[in-house]
Amino acid sequence: MNGIIPLYKPKGITSADCVYRLRKILHERKIGHTGTLDPDVDGVLVICVGQATKLVNHLMQSPKTYRGQITLGQATTTEDASGDVVAQEVLKEPFTTKQIVKAMKALTGKIKQTPPLYSAVRVNGKRLYEYARAHESVERPTREVNIYHFEVLNTPTFLADVGKQIIEFEVQCSKGTYIRTLAVQLGELLQVPAHMNQLTRTIGGTFTLKDTVTLEQIEKSFNAGENSFLLSLSAAFKQSKRYDLSNEQWRYVQNGRSLKLTVSDSQLALFYKGVLKAIYQQQNELYVPQLMLLKNDR
C-alpha cells in the first residue's frame, strides 16, 4: 500500500495516536506523519503510507499555515489554554488593531524562538516536558524560524469585564515554529502576558482542510474495500513541473544517472507510464536526483 492521506486530526489526540490508529485500520506498519500537532490543535496532518514515507522529510520542509486565537492579559505554563496561569494583567483598555499589526510585522521574517518548556524538543536525551514534569531546570536551545506572514483576521475583541483581549490571526511559517511561543512573543512586544488559546492547521504542504478525511471515514471506506482516501504520491508535488520519461531516460533514472533535458525548471517530477518515479533538481545544465521513488506504483 502506497500513498498520501491528508488527515483531519481532531483535538484531544496526538499525532502519534493518529499513526497508531491508521496502522491498525490499514494493517500497514510503514506509516508516518509530516509534522506534529499538539493534542489541543486540530487540522491538516499529512500522512505518508508505504513508499510515500520517503516524502516525509520533503513534506516537513514545506511551509504550514494556521489560524487561531491569542489572549492578551494572561500567560500560562504551557503557553496555551491547557496550562496553569502564571501571569495575569487586567487590561484597562484594548490595544488598537494598528498596534497589534505593528507588533505582528516585527515578528515577520526570520526570528529567534526558544521552544516551550512543555514541548517534545530533546535536550541531553530527554524531552523538555520531562524536565518540566520533574520540576528540573534545563537550558533550552534557541532556534531560528521563518514567519512568512502573521496577520490579524478580524477586529480584536476586548473583554472589558475581565480585562482581556482576543486576537484572531493567521500565520504561515517554516518547520520548527511554535505558534504558542509566537503568541507569547507578541505579548512581550505589547508588554503584556499572553498565550495561544486556540489553533487549527489549515494548510500542510499542498493540502488544505477541504482536502482532509477523518479517521472514521478512512475506516469505513477501507472496510468497504474502497481506498479513494489514499492519494498518489504525485499529489505532494502539484507545484513541480511534470516530465514524462522515454524508455531510454527511464533506464538512466533507474541507475541514478543525471539527465540533460530541454526544459528549464528548478525541480521536475519525473513520470514513467503515468507513475511518479523521481524528483530531479536542476544543477547547472543537468538535472540530478533529489528523491528516488522507483518502487512507487501509483
Residues marked active site are found at 38
Q: Which helix (H) or strand (E) segment is 190 a member of?
A: helix 179-190
Spatial CA neighbour of 77 closest among 201, 199, 200, 196: 196
What's at 147, amino acid-wise? I
Instruction: Give me the torsion for CA of 112, 117, 170, 108, rounded to 10°.
Output: -10
What's at 134, amino acid-wise? A
What is the Cα–Cα distance from 79 to 147, expressed in whole angstroms? 18
Q: Are strands 267-272 and 241-244 parallel, antiparallel or unpaired?
A: parallel
Computed on alpha carbons and rounded to an integer, the radius of gyration of the chain in Å comes to 22
Backbone angles phi and psi of 88, in degrees to 5:
-150, 140
C-alpha cell of 285?
A: 545544465
| Start-to-end Cα distance in the chain | 10
Whether 296 contacts 276, CB under 8 Å: yes
Specify the 3-state DSSP secondary structure of 137: coil
